[in-house]
Amino acid sequence: MSDAHSADQFAPHEGSDFIVGAPAEGILRLKLVRLTRHGIHPGAPRPDPFSLEFVGPPEPVLPQAIYAFEHPAMGHFDLFIVPLGPIGRTDARMRYEAVFAQLSCTGTR
């Protein structure tokens, strides 16, 4: 998979499992539960910012880092994810987010 991820590449796989290799924690399955598009920004370094939310087991909790992901249809790729915390009081599964935002800011200092 190319380094230039797009929302359209992930959209057909919402609800499917991804295999994540974490050196210290081993192999985990994370389910892609939500793809959020953040609008179109023509001319921006990333004109189509989006975020992905994954859900995984309560333990082990992966710290924020870049992990090797694998999906049957998308192949192998690296993704930076951040733990968001458990789903709720009665559901201890851990949530993770990957954000694909604009690569630079405009404005003056």
- Using the 8-state DSSP alphabet, how is residue 60 labeled? S
Sign of CA dihedral 39, 18, 32, 59: negative
Counted residue by residue, the chain has a size of 109
pTM, 2 dp: 0.83
Q: Tell me which residue has tokens 């915390």.
A: 85
pLDDT in tens, the chain (109 residues): 445 688 899 999 999 999 999 777 778 999 999 999 887 766 666 668 899 999 999 999 999 999 999 999 999 999 999 999 999 889 999 999 999 876 544 444 4
- Is the omega angle on the peptide bond into residue 60 within 30 degrees of 0, that is, cis? yes
At residue 109, the pLDDT reads: 42
At residue 108, the pLDDT reads: 43
- Using the 8-state DSSP alphabet, how is residue 43 labeled? T
